[in-house]
Amino acid sequence: MTAPITVSRVRAIALTRDDQLLLIHRIRPGRPDYWVLPGGGIEPTDMTLTTALARELREETGGHATIYRLIHLINDAPSGQAVFLARVDNPNPHTRTGPELTTAGTDAGEYHLEAHPLTPTGLTNLDIRPHGIADLLAEHLRAGRNLFDLPTCAAPTISPAHRKHHPLNTWHRAMWRPGRVRQRYGSSCGRYCALATASSWSGRPTRT
C-alpha cells in the first residue's frame, strides 16, 4: 500500500504561447543562482489545488493561466508537491504581486521572471528546483513527446492536515477515472476539503 503524501505546495510547468518555460530566477546573497517552477504554498483560502496554483501563477507571473492537469507528484518529506501542466498568456513582470516581491534586495534575495527555451540542453544547463523536474522534462522531450499529451498523474492519497495553514491536506483518496472524479472524505475533512471537479482533472483545462 502506498504511503500517504501530504501535499503542502503546488507548482506549474508553465508554458508561454510560444512554448517557452516560465521560471523564477532566484538570486540570493552568498549562494549560486537557481531557478524554480512558479508556485508556492497552499493557503487557508485556497479551496482546491488548482485554485491555489491559479493564485500563485497570478502573483508570480502577472499573466492569465490555463491549468490543464496534474502530471507529477513529488514526495518531499514531511510534505509533498503537486506539479501541474499549465499555459500562461501575457506574463508581465511589472504586474506581479505577492509578499516575496516586497523582500527583493534583502536576505531573501531577488525573484526574476524569465522565459527559457523548452529544450533538453536548455533545461539541464540550469539548476531548476524542485530537483528532478529538469531531467523529467528533458526525458519526455528527447522521446518526442508532447507535454500536453501526457496522461494525468496517478491519484495521490493525501493525509489529514495536522497544520491549520495546510487545509488541503484533508483531501482523502481522490480516485480519478476518464471524464470524472470520485472522492472519498474522512471524518476529519472539514470545510476546507479540496473540492476537485471533473473539469480540473479529466483533461478539460481550468482557466483563471
Asked if CATH classification 3.90.79.10 holds for the domain at 8-151, the reply, yes or no, is: yes
Residues 68-97: pLDDT tens digits?
A: 999 999 987 777 899 999 999 999 999 998
Answer whether 53's CB lies under 8 Å from 39's CB: yes
Q: What is the pLDDT of residue 101?
A: 72
pLDDT in tens, 128-184: 999 999 999 999 999 999 999 988 886 555 434 434 444 444 333 333 332 222 222
User: How far apart, in whole angstroms, are the C-alpha atoms of residue 115 and residue 7?
Assistant: 27
Buried b (16+ CB within 10 A) or exposed e, 145-184: eebeeeebbebbebbbbeeeebbbbbbbebebeeeebebe
C-alpha cell at 55: 493564485
